[in-house]
Amino acid sequence: MVISDDSAAIFTPPVNAAAVGHKYTRIRVDQYAGACGAVISQVDLSTRLDDETVSEIRRAILDHLVVFFRDQCLTPAQQVAFSHRFGDYSNVPFIEPIPGNPEVIAVVREPQERQGFAFGGLWHSDFSFLEQPPFGSILHAIEVPPYGADTLWSNQYLAYGTLSSGLQTALRTLRGVHSATNAYSKKMQVIHDSFVGMKVHTDDSANQTIEHPVVRIHAETGQPALYVNAQYTVGLAGWAPHEARLLLDYLFQHSVQPAFTCRWNWQVGDVAFWDNRCVQHMAMADVSGHRRYMHRTTVAGESPVSM
């Protein structure tokens, strides 16, 4: 897929979200599902958006955790410019960017790839193994299969809020150990080699670990969210592996139950923008024989903090 890219990225400081309870005047926001998700319309993301529009979009992301835009047509530079309205570029390790734009990766599934495997196919919060994981991820559908290959998101405020007060109290004292070892260490190269459309360079730096609070306070909403995920959380600080496994397995299962999720069936031109601080997501690996081609940018976040 070749996309002409004739516009330069515009770098402007990110703008704050509109206030809680703000009445939208620049965009229309329609809730999409019960747990999370909203569709934003009446905005063309390829243009230079004014600050009021950006602050309304940011408000909608904070309120709905993941937002969707339909019928967009973004060059990579336009997608980067849109991302920059929400924050700096967040470094993307291991994955080769598209030619000509170091801030964009292509998330690609080729027709010959096997059903049952997909990049992003395990529940995760993007790059939670980094000291400062990205706040936002923006995925733009360029080519989609005629059915399937949906993406799911799960609301981690709900995941935390629906636990008993006893478990909530216990979890607030814990730190999760995060690592890219099960995704990007050398032992995983064989898996990435089966994703023929993407170039991933595994490296044993992926075995490094970092600790983050198991319950994270969202930097903008101030609300607590569960912050562990099956892809990158490999232990609990100070716990034996077999002890941590039991509790983490419970939390992984609890945190992605259907009542906390929304699911998006992609059409060409769709853009999804989610907040990794309070959702997990996963790609459905239920299609082969068809191509799926998306562009993804990531927006910098802050170090997770506890209560």
Interface with ligand SIN, residue 287, by CB under 6 A: no
Task: Please give the size of the binding site for ligand SIN, defined by CB under 6 A.
Answer: 10
- In the region spanning residues 5 to 34, those forming contacts with ligand SIN, defined by CB under 6 A, are none
Q: Which is nearer to ligand SIN, 35 or 174 (CB)?
A: 35
- CA geometry: angle at 71 spanning 89 and 144, to 5°? 80
Q: Parallel, antiparallel, or unpaired for β 271-275 and 66-69?
A: antiparallel
Q: Residue 34 is encoded by which pair of tokens?
A: 């019960």
Residue 151 Cβ vs ligand SIN, minimum distance, rounded to whole Å? 4
Q: How far apart, in Å, are the Cα atoms of 182 and each of 28, 179, 208, 266?
A: 40, 8, 11, 28
- In angstroms, rounded to a whole number, what is the distance separating the alpha carbons of residues 46 and 123? 30
Interface with ligand SIN, residue 107, by CB under 6 A: yes
Is 64 tagged catalytic?
no
- In angstroms, rounded to a whole number, what is the distance separating the alpha carbons of residues 31 and 296? 23
DSSP state of 44: -
Q: Which is nearer to ligand SIN, 121 or 161 (CB)?
A: 121
Instruction: HSE, CB side, 13 Å, CA atoms: give it for residue 118.
Output: 28
Kindly tell me which residue out of 296, 299, 300, 301 binds ligand SIN, with binding defined by CB under 6 A: 296
Is 124 tagged catalytic?
yes
- In angstroms, rounded to a whole number, what is the distance separating the alpha carbons of residues 25 and 59? 12
Is 126 tagged catalytic?
yes
Q: Closest residue to ligand SIN, Cβ-based?
A: 120
Residue 49 Cβ vs ligand SIN, minimum distance, rounded to whole Å? 23
E strands present in the chain: 28-31, 38-41, 66-69, 105-109, 136-143, 151-155, 175-179, 209-213, 215-217, 224-226, 233-236, 261-264, 271-275, 279-283, 292-299
- Number of residues written out for the chain: 307
- In the region spanning residues 34 to 93, those forming contacts with ligand SIN, defined by CB under 6 A, are none
Is 218 tagged catalytic?
no
Considering the candidates 58, 64, 124, 140, report the single residue annotated as catalytic: 124
Kindly tell me which residue out of 120, 133, 176, 224 binds ligand SIN, with binding defined by CB under 6 A: 120
Q: Which is nearer to ligand SIN, 55 or 298 (CB)?
A: 298
Residue 154 Cβ vs ligand SIN, minimum distance, rounded to whole Å? 13
Active site residues: 124, 126, 281, 296
Catalog residues that contact ligand SIN under the rule CB under 6 A: 107, 119-120, 137, 139, 151, 281, 283, 294, 296
